Structure 1
Amino acid sequence: MVEDFEPRWIEGWIAVAPGTPAVTVTLRVNRTDLVTTLVADPAKRRVPGAEVRRFRFRVKELWDYIGTHDRLAVVVDGRPLPIAAHGTVYRPRSNGPHRLQELKDKLAGDHVFSRSGALQVAKNLDTAWQRRTMTQAGRVRDFVSERFGLDAFFIYGTLLGAVRENGVIGHDSDIDLAYVSGHRNGADAARELHDIAFALIDSGFRVLAYGTHLRIANEIEGDKDAHVDLFHTYFDEHDVLGFPYGVSGVVDVRASDWTGVHEIDFAGSTGLLPNCAERVAEALYGTGWREPQPGFNWDRDRRTRAADALMPRAWTQQIYWADFYEHTGFSTPSAFFEAVSARADVPRIVVDLGCGEGRDSVAHAEAGRRVFGIDRSQRGIRRAEAKAAELGLEDRLSFHECDVADTEALASVVGRARAEAGDEPVMFYLRFFLHSLEEETQDALLSSLDALSRPGDVLAAEFRTADDKANPKVHRHHYRRYQDGPAFGAALAQQHAFEVLEEQEGIGLSPYQDEDPHLYRVVARRSGGTS
């Protein structure tokens, strides 16, 4: 049964007699077999007297080459499978910009569908990509060895390519490395990965953190995203090698199996491979690992993972913003600052919540205001302090590492601002901050501001709205929570005793490179003050 014919993938399942060898499943367009996959491992679904096996074709760019006149089918043993709500043939609803023959020519040449479904030159043939990526892999391997005494060896798709194909898998997209932590519990192993991330950033690497691994990038030979993925593993109290990213097989790698690593020639360079590489491959991918499975998908096929070694979101966000502030800076204030600063009623004392590297804090100080910048990113605060010192603005600027969810710490900083303000009002300035908070944190912050603000205080905020969610982003990996702007303004008035003085919503407010976000701006005054 084919369950889904979606733009990103085509997936379903087959039922076979228990113990049946790997079965070939083919995606056919008209009379041409375009993509095949072998399915060998049982799935969780149950059918009486049969073994269910799932398949998935990631072919998101297929639709650019087919049209309403084409017919798609998924075939097993020469017979088409039934397609939910479509019989045995699927007819595309629209025409792609290219011809099917162009796709056939590419697939007959050096192109394949990648793991994400994009058409790419097969990585086993792309020697320039191999050279760049293996250069990055070597740098990461040397760094982890020299700084932490750990061996970074091939894992996941790279290990699979090394032991099955003696090289890179054509549809792969990166080099996967892992190390075995010396720690014996998940929390300590996760903390070690966190520490490695910060050490990498300090040494000039670009780092994007997930709960399960680090993506480590640098510009090499003009490729700004030559990257490798670094995974952490550890032997638990039962001497079983734990994989936080997960495994789809049913066998374990035990301490007794592990005898270290050895160096191999790979993709024009060298790398480390576990001595028990085939055991690791079976643990990761199951008994069918020796045969290519283009439809393999971790979200669907992952059987288990060492969940206690996942890095929490707070840590991955720390790493993200440390990397961002280390490599991103602005020499001019934001458009929101210009709009707010032009008002005649801006207080002399400013509390810049989510100040980052101090971009608008500096601008407020240069405009003659006393600014207290708050951010939970130590790296951002460090950059902001350096900028203040460079510009000789230390007397007008102070920066404080503080999580706004920590009500006592927030109250302490606001108390300092209040002491300098005396009887004057304070402005709480929140540019591009609220959409970076989870809802419960925003609620806690607004409750704190309820308690800390006085009549006459001003709140100025700018954030992304729900209408911005689908728009392309320059910084794709920011955490963003899109919300209803006018509803926020109404809540300020109805729930938090702020009178809305000005509000705007739309595009054109703060264009950035190729991005023109849909934003909401509001300036409000705490009720009870002078008008």
Structure 2
Amino acid sequence: MISRLSPGYGGVDASRRGLRLAPGWTGRHGLRDDAVDVRLDGHRVWSFRPRSDALRTPLGRFVAWPERLVPHLVGRTTLSLVAHADGRVLHEAEVAFTDADRRTHVADAAGHLLTVDKGGRLQRMFDRTDDAVRGHVVDAVTVIVDQLRDEAGLEAFLAFGCLLGAVRDGRMIGHDADADIAYLSRHDHPLDVIRENRRACRVMQDLGHRVVRMSDADFKIWVPLPDGRRCGVDVFAGYHLGGAFHLLPTVRGEVRREDLLPTGTVRLEGREVVAPARPEVLLAATYGESWRTPDPSFRFTQPADLDRHMDGYWRGARQGLNRWTEFYDSPRAGEVPTGPSDFARWVHRRLRRAGDTTGGVADIGAGTGRDAIWFARRGRPAVALDAAHRARVLTRRAARRAGQTVDVRRLNLNDAATVLAEGARIAHEGRVRHAYARLLADELEDAARGELLRFSRMVTRRGGRLFLEVRRDGPRLARAVAAQGGRVVHEEPGPGTRRYVAEWR
């Protein structure tokens, strides 16, 4: 049950769907599009802008809750809307989100309070972190900056939120949860920028860091913290191209080389840290001229041409990945059935009728691993491949619960290098003969579909077959198989789908 305030009470109507602000509410409080903090029993769980983040309706403006926050909206709470700039309480009232006899508590399993960050994720923010832990983060950042400069040969310095907090007041931003480093590339050709970044990534791995590539021009280093958490330290490439300075992932502006180098220092949490020569120039290019004003509702926006630039040069391998990462990290992932799909049963029956009772299967785009686990239970070696880290975590967890052995690996069909490497690895191992992709091809662009077929051709080279189920574009996919030297040997309708069996000889 959803209980809420009566419409218009105090100008705010709150429910589990979101907040409805009565007509004229922002004007009465002297707000333009200023940040408003949402507090539940005094804890800030989110911040929004009442105009740009709201949908205009005949009954006023409606602001939906962030998806990650909704599962926590259980029981009763004192809801407060507070102007972030001056601390004025704009609205406060008792709200019952459900009829559960408890106070609403937005926290992790250990009881640490969480807040929605600018990316829509629930995080334990720095304002909920003690001084010693914040100091540990800055110490780690200092070490990483020094290693990037001394070992990788990069002109590295503080950037984004860390630099912003240092210049404003010498402290980490309270509504931030990670750390950021940038460097100015020596190169202006994209291929050289990529080579430089990949080399730096390898250097940091060799130094013992846990490193995750985020694009062809940035990577993340995970730093363990004394309180059991981990903090991500992002390392972004900056470069000059076409007369403008660019900085992954969202920045383009008039920043000259002499604004960045030679580097200087700033103080952050009592430590001296390397910074750009003129920090205010980089901060204005990053956040706009209002960068000195704290804004927890800030979100990066970029023009379409800059988005195309960043995707085309650096982020193509991550196309669609954020959407699936968010899905597998949301409550919706728990709604995925745990049993095998009808298509998996169909494939197993076909193989068994052909006399193949033990041929291994590479489940491409395995998701939660439900089909790969079922194949393993039927005695078939199974490899579950997915680009989304969270999907792989769920697959490993489900396989352990089921008592099955499933080899879980990363495969990104937007990255030809990983396709070739993983395809060669599986082909060489020889445990898997068949490739399997259920409803995956529908989600892929043409280039990634081509990599799906290339990978399948490598995996099935020992006489195996590719089993595909699609909702649309089946004939086009069959032509693509033929274009790669294969042939469709069977086709039939499924429940709202088409099923194909292909082979390469």
Instruction: State the TM-score, normalized to the length of structure 2.
Output: 0.53
1:362-377 map, 5 Å = none
The aligned amino acid for 1:295 is: S
Per-residue deviation, residues 441-495 of structure 1 (Å, max 9, x unmatched):
576579899999xxxx7525488xxxxxxxxxxxxxxxxxxx659x979x98xx9
Q: Percent identity?
A: 17
Q: Does the 8 A contact of 1:184 with 1:237 survive in 2? A: no
In structure 1, the residue matched to 2:283 is 281
Alpha-carbon distance change, 268 to 458 in structure 1, aligned in 2, over 3 angstroms: same
Cα separation, 1, equivalents of 2:445 and 2:114:
44
Unaligned runs of 5+ in 1: 46-54, 82-87, 321-334, 365-374, 389-393, 399-426, 464-482, 506-519, 527-531
> Is 1:262 matched with 2:293?
no
Per the alignment, residue 440 of structure 1 pairs with 446
Give the alignment partner of residue 345 of structure 1, picking from 346, 352, 355.
355
The aligned amino acid for 1:440 is D
User: Are 2:194 and 1:184 aligned?
Assistant: no
Cα distance in 2 for residues equivalent to 1:219 and 1:36: 26
Looking at structure 1, the residues matched to 114 and 457 of structure 2 have their Cα atoms a distance apart, in angstroms, of: 61
Contact 2:42 2:80 in 1 (8 A): no
In structure 2, the partner of 1:232 is 237
Mapped contact 1:178–1:232 kept (Cα < 8 A): yes
Cα distance between partner residues in 1 of 2:165 and 2:217: 21
Quick one: distance in 2 between partners of 1:255 and 1:60? 40
Name the larger-Rg structure: 1
Say which of 56, 59, 72 aligns to 1:64.
Answer: 72
The alpha carbon displacement at 1:229 in A equals: 0.7
Residues 12-161 of structure 1: matches in 2 within 5 Å? 25-27=35-37, 61=69, 64=72, 94=98, 98-99=102-103, 114-115=117-118, 116=120, 118=122, 120=124, 122-123=126-127, 125-127=129-131, 129-161=133-165
3-state DSSP of counterpart to 2:257: coil
Give the Å deviation of 1:504. Answer: 12
1:289 aligns to what SS in structure 2?
Answer: coil
C-alpha contact (below 8 Å) 1:136/1:227 kept by paired residues: no
Is the contact made by 1:247 and 1:302 (CA closer than 8 Å) also made in structure 2? no
Find the counterpart in structure 1 of residue 337 from structure 2: none
Whole-angstrom CA distance in 2 between matches of 1:25 and 1:275: 31
Structure 1 CA distance for aligned equivalents of residues 189 and 19 of structure 2: 37
> Are the aligned partners of 2:74 and 2:100 in contact in 1 as well (CA < 8 Å)?
yes
User: Is the partner of 1:290 in helix, strand or coil?
Assistant: coil
The equivalences for 1:122-521 within 5 A come to 122-123=126-127, 125-127=129-131, 129-185=133-189, 188-201=192-205, 204=208, 205-210=210-215, 213-217=218-222, 219=224, 223=228, 225-238=230-243, 240-247=244-251, 252-267=254-269, 269-299=271-301, 305=306, 308=309, 311-313=313-315, 315=317, 345-346=355-356, 429-431=434-436, 435=440, 438-441=444-447, 444=450, 459-461=465-467, 484=471, 497-499=488-490
The one-letter amino acid paired with 1:169 is: I
Structure 1 pair 277–197 and aligned structure 2 pair: CA distance change class (3 A): same
Amino acid at match of 2:446: E
Structure 1 residue 216: deviation in Å?
A: 2.2
- Cα distance, 1:293 vs. partner? 0.5
CA drift at 1:169: 1.0
By how many angstroms is 1:7 displaced? Answer: 6.1
1:294–1:439 CA distance, 2 compared to 1 (3 A): closer
* Partners of 2:72 and 2:153 in 1: CA distance: 48
1:473 maps to: none
**RMSD of the TM alignment (CA)?**
6.5
Q: CA 1:137 to 1:287, structure 2 compared with 1: closer, same or farther past 3 Å?
A: same
Letter in 1 for 2:240: F
Please give the alpha-carbon distance, in whole angstroms, between the structure 2 residues aligned to 1:177 and 1:3: 42
1:254 counterpart letter in structure 2 = R
Alpha carbons 1:26, 1:34 under 8 Å: kept: no
Tell me the distance in 2 between the aligned counterparts of 1:131 and 1:117. Answer: 23
**Contact 1:111–1:119 at 8 Å: present in 2 too?**
yes
| CA distance 1:270–1:95, change in 2 (3 Å) | farther
1:206 corresponds to which letter in structure 2?
Answer: V
Give the letter for the 2:187 counterpart: H
- Per the alignment, do residues 279 and 397 of structure 1 end up closer, same or farther by CA in structure 2, a change over 3 Å counting? same
Does the residue aligned with 1:297 lie in a helix, a strand or coil? coil
TM-score (norm 1): 0.51
